[in-house]
Amino acid sequence: MRVALGIEYDGSAFCGWQHQPQMPTVQETLESALKSFSTVPLRTVCAGRTDTGVHATHQVVDFDSPVQRPLTAWVRGVNAYLPSTVAVRWARFVPDDFSSRFSAVERTYEYWILNDPVRSPLLASRTGWLFRPCDEAKMQEAANLLIGEHDFSSFRASECQAKTPVRLVHEVTVKRFGRMIGIRLRANAFLHHMVRNIVGSLVYVGTGRESLSWFKEVFEAKDRTLAAPTFAASGLYLVGVKYPDFPDLPTHSPTIFNFP
């Protein structure tokens, strides 16, 4: 029996999703809770491996279970063994050919920036922080250049293991909500650090440090060394994963900042 779960977590408590020796990770924490609940080891596969400090409202995992439990138990029962930083939001039975990773055709991330002259202790682990005034309209102008299928080498981490730097981006939306700037990105898949690298360069444009033509040149150069530094992990959230062949699965879970 294959089960899919929707997971929400506070990434600031973990060294990323994937198992690491002697490091707290989301995968290790979830699998420990699954074992305690089901009494057998259960190995999970996820839709997207998040880095240290990155959050999720809609991480999707799947696993094969030799024991049967009702869907409500996979939520409440597993949550009883999880810390306050991780929660199972929903559970669904899925066919044996379902893969949270390979069946997904689209993923959505949001990046949230506190644009305020003074940092916020309450939002320090929930947002990126930018003290300089920032023009979100200029950021949107630059973001529009990213739509479509392109080589994203300029926004790819040097340690990225993807076979190709080409990705199909469906949406990059930049909006201001008072002192918060929200950036939503939808694509078929993302490269390692791709979102945070894009955000860093958009911020350069928004603050007037660089121009729209600079952003275009960096993007077309396919050279990571020309782009801005990687922006902080604290503002990044995995908020959606789309599975058109499995319509019963939820596709999106909003953050506490509620991007419309």
Enumerate the domain spans of the chain: 2-103, 106-238
pLDDT at 260: 79
In this structure, whether the domain defined by 2-103 belongs to CATH 1.10.357.10 is answered with no
The single-letter DSSP state of residue 206 is H
115-153 confidence digits (pLDDT tens) = 999 999 999 999 999 999 999 999 999 999 999 999 999
Q: What is the mean pLDDT of the chain?
A: 97
Mean per-residue pLDDT for 230-237?
A: 98
Question: Residues 6 or more apart from 196 whose CB is under 8 A from it?
Answer: 111, 230, 231, 232, 233, 236
The single-letter DSSP state of residue 232 is P
Mean per-residue pLDDT for 67-93?
A: 97
Distance CA 233, CA 203 (A): 15
Q: Would you give the end-to-end CA distance of the chain in angstroms?
A: 36
String of b and e for 44-64 (b: at least 16 CB within 10 Å)? bbbbbbbbebbbbbbbbbbbe
Distance CA 176, CA 178 (A): 6
Rounded to two decimals, the pTM is: 0.96
pLDDT at 258: 85
SS (HEC) of 57-107: EEEEEEEECCCCCCHHHHHHHHHCCCCCCEEEEEEEEECCCCCCCCCCCEE
Q: Report which of residues 54 and 20 the model is more confident about.
A: 54
**Phi/psi-derived region of residue 241, left when phi > 0, alpha when psi is between -120 and 50, beta in every other case:** beta
Comparing 2-103 with 106-238, is the CATH topology the same? yes
The single-letter DSSP state of residue 252 is B
- The second-level CATH assignment, the architecture, of 106-238 is 2-Layer Sandwich (3.30)
94-113 confidence digits (pLDDT tens) = 999 999 999 999 999 999 99
26-44 confidence digits (pLDDT tens) = 999 999 999 999 999 999 9
pLDDT at 259: 86
Residue 86 pLDDT more than 90? yes
Residue 184 pLDDT more than 90? yes
Please give the positions annotated as active site.
51
